[in-house]
Amino acid sequence: MTRARAPAADNSPDRLLWTAGIAAGASLPHWLSLPIWVPGLLCFSIAWRLGGARFGWPLPNMLARIALALLSFVAVLGQYHTINGLEAGTALLIVMVALKFLESRTARDQLVLVIIAYFLLFAGLLVDPGLFMLAYMLGFVWFTTIGLLQLGRPAPLLPNAETAKQAGRLLLQAMPIMLILFVLFPRLPGPLWGVPGADTRGRSGLSDTMSPGDITELGLSEDVAFRVEFHDRPPGPDRLYWRGPVLSVFNGRTWSTDGPGMRPGMVDTLELSGEPIDYRVMLEPHDRRWVFALDMPVKWSEDLDIRMENHYQLVRTRRPIRSRFDYEVTSYPGYRTLEGLNERTREYYLRLPAEGNPQSRAMAQQWRNESSNEREIIAKALSIFRAEQFFYTLTPPPLGANTADDFLFQTREGFCEHYSSAFTILMRAAGIPARVVTGYQGGEINPLGEYYIIYQSNAHAWTEVWLEDEGWVRVDPTAAVAPDRISSGLSGRSLAGEQARRGALQGLPWIRQAILAWDAAQTYWNAWVIGYGPELQRALLEALGISRPHWSKLVALAAGAVLLVSVLLTVYLSWSFRQKRERDRAVALFERFCRTLERARVPPRRTGEGPLDYGNRAATALPMQAGQIQAITRAYLKSRYEPNTGDSEVEELQRLIRGFKPVGTH
């Protein structure tokens, strides 16, 4: 039995260009997440190898290649201190591609590079599982498959248009099997895209510190913080307060958290009223443990390692959120906190530096002396923001050492951080326990998907004060200055630039619709593909009538479905091949040639034996006419399988067969 021959060596510039394009394009999605020397090494290797083929540049010998490989491995290890994980593994793989391309000599080397390119493409979805990456990956998988067909044959390259059609047909034929495996194969807990080491850290508009006055221009990001899908009617925009980090420590300029603190039974300290709100949050990665929810959460997904801290803030206890994180929450907008404050805790929430902000302290003390209760003090503080000339702006002037005094009595310009910080200082100076709460406020509804988009520019800060008979009560001083910021749910940037944006896009409403349509598509992709885990798979299969889908049942079902589709596809392709074969003159001519060889005592063609293997076996049996046999075999393969062949190729095949006379026959 003869073995199939590997494609012959071919270092033609056209083949190397195909290989170079595939290697560079497959690694392109990773370039921004890798150190610059990794794509630099790839480009350098490609240029050197192409220069060797075109201009005869000397290529590195074996010792030089071994030294370069060791140096590259050490560089990757030194960069990441490991070779495990997505970034380190991808960097090492691209380095291997670069060195393999530099030493490529045969078509087999080129095919190895093409196969590695498929792995690099699929790893791109681990870096960025978005729709842009999906579109790029699908397009380049098609391009890579075209290259695979071109480089996998020993003959000259085929016309690209016909090869592209053939590659497209192959991918479409493989799609049913891909869909079956995706839907039926048992899913592991957690998304595949959350593998360790994935650099999916997002940019957050929040921090665990807040220093009003340090930032003189608030560059708010329009990146998405999270999306929310309400199961019933959503609350009004003015009730969309998404609770995040609580800042209780003030050093005279900066507010900060007091560190994590878990206290069981926090939900039990809530007195709830009104109707609950059930919703699902689709949180973007932000490299923190914060989990956002409407004030006030009482129930959440229990299997996702979410706990409530002692400030009623939800957090993920074990690790930061570095991949998309979906969870269910039930909140009550109507609530009272029945948590008691002992003397020590009360003093903690009244604490201010020994010195600083003398005007604010004096004014707060005057309110304390003139008021009969805490509600009057709060009303007087808010009346300042309503009655005086305060302005909501994203470009406030800088503040000095006494941030509250400078803001309240001089600049009077700022955004939510300025108002919440100054108000909280006033409350503490007046003897009312207070703290700053940060999070998000508002959001934009996407009518195409019926869900809310909360942007990073929706980041907000407000104050919570402790009232003896009510517990912690939310007071938002920003609402006193910029009520539209709260009542409309607009982001800070949108509020400041809404008039300009409307004017600029007045005649182009389709732009906003296109943005929302794209976001809806991205959301459904994230929900149904990226987030396709055990729960969603179980719900889908149960909807299809498959109850209690155990993993062994799913494996058997997937194997059976793949086998059935493979049989149907084989039958269809065989039928198509026979239909074409009946009309194919080249097939009839080659069969006549095979009968001629049989009369020359060449064993008949075996079932499943390809023309090339049969021609090699016949050439071995008739060595004196091996050249003629191989020429006829090549002519048949060209006329039968290559695109854009016509009567001239068939006529050439017929001429060669007519001129073939086995030795000893007449």
- The 10s digit of each residue's pLDDT in 258-274 is 765 666 678 888 999 99
pLDDT at 162 over 90: no
pLDDT at 429: 96
pLDDT at 139: 95
Top pLDDT among 433 and 12 is at: 433
pLDDT at 148: 92
Residue of 416, 418, 519, 613 with catalytic role: 416
pLDDT at 261: 62
390-401 average pLDDT score? 86
Top pLDDT among 489 and 141 is at: 141
What does the angle CA 128 – CA 134 – CA 139 come to, to the nearest 5 degrees?
130
- DSSP string for 82-120: -S-SHHHHHHHHHHHHHHHHHH--SHHHHHHHHHHHHHH
Q: Residue 6: pLDDT band by 50, 70, 90 thresholds? A: very low
Q: Structure tokens of 571?
A: 């039958």
Top pLDDT among 214 and 531 is at: 531
Residue of 10, 326, 476, 613 with catalytic role: 476
519, 446 contact by CB (below 8 A) = yes
Residue of 30, 311, 460, 613 with catalytic role: 460
pLDDT at 263: 66
- The 10s digit of each residue's pLDDT in 28-37 is 999 988 999 9
Of 31-35, 242-246, 584-588, 654-658, the least confident: 584-588
pLDDT at 664: 55
Q: Residue 217: pLDDT band by 50, 70, 90 thresholds? A: very low
pLDDT at 514: 85
pLDDT at 287: 87
Q: Across the chain, what does the average pLDDT equal? A: 85
pLDDT at 535: 75
407, 414 contact by CB (below 8 A) = yes
E-strand spans in 173-295? 209-210, 224-230, 241-247, 249-250, 255-256, 270-273, 277-283, 290-291, 293-294
Q: For 17, phi and psi rounded to 5 degrees?
A: -65, -40
pLDDT at 4: 41
pLDDT at 138: 93
Instruction: Examine the residue annotation and report whether 460 is marked as an active-site residue of this protein.
Output: yes
What residue type is assigned to position 660 of the chain? F
pLDDT at 489: 56
Q: Residue 218: pLDDT band by 50, 70, 90 thresholds? A: very low
pLDDT at 3 over 50: no
From the CA atom positions of the chain, what is the Rg in Å? 35
Every domain of the chain and the residues it spans? 13-158, 222-504, 584-658
- DSSP string for 482-505: -HHHHHS---HHHHHHHHHHHHHT
Quick one: CA torsion of 564, 570, 576, 578, rounded to 10 degrees?
-130
Q: Residue 200: pLDDT band by 50, 70, 90 thresholds? A: very low
- The 10s digit of each residue's pLDDT in 172-191 is 999 999 999 988 888 766 54
| pTM score | 0.69
**How far apart (Å, rounded) are the C-alpha atoms in residues 212 and 421?**
7
pLDDT at 654 over 70: yes
Q: Residue 54: pLDDT band by 50, 70, 90 thresholds? A: confident
pLDDT at 431 over 90: yes
Q: Structure tokens of 287?
A: 């490299």
Helical segments of 314-407, H only: 343-348, 358-370, 374-387, 403-406
Helical segments of 81-226, H only: 86-103, 107-127, 131-151, 160-184
Top pLDDT among 476 and 199 is at: 476
- The 10s digit of each residue's pLDDT in 343-389 is 999 999 999 999 999 999 999 999 999 998 999 999 999 999 888 88
Q: For 533, phi and psi rounded to 5 degrees?
A: -115, -165
573-578 average pLDDT score? 75
Of 126-130, 420-424, 461-465, 545-549, the least confident: 545-549
pLDDT at 580 over 70: no
Residue among 131, 114, 130 nearest 25 (CA):
114
Of 164-168, 241-245, 428-432, 586-590, the least confident: 586-590
Q: Residue 631: pLDDT band by 50, 70, 90 thresholds? A: very high
First CA to last CA across the chain, in angstroms? 30
pLDDT at 202 over 60: no
528-549 average pLDDT score? 80
pLDDT at 220: 60
436-461 average pLDDT score? 90
CA atoms within 13 A on the CB side of 309: 21
CA–chain centroid gap for 359, Å, is: 51
250, 357 contact by CB (below 8 A) = no
DSSP secondary structure code for residue 469 in this structure: T
- DSSP string for 537-563: HHHHHHHTT--S--HHHHHHHHHHHHH
Instruction: Examine the residue annotation and report whether 416 is marked as an active-site residue of this protein.
Output: yes
pLDDT at 394: 79
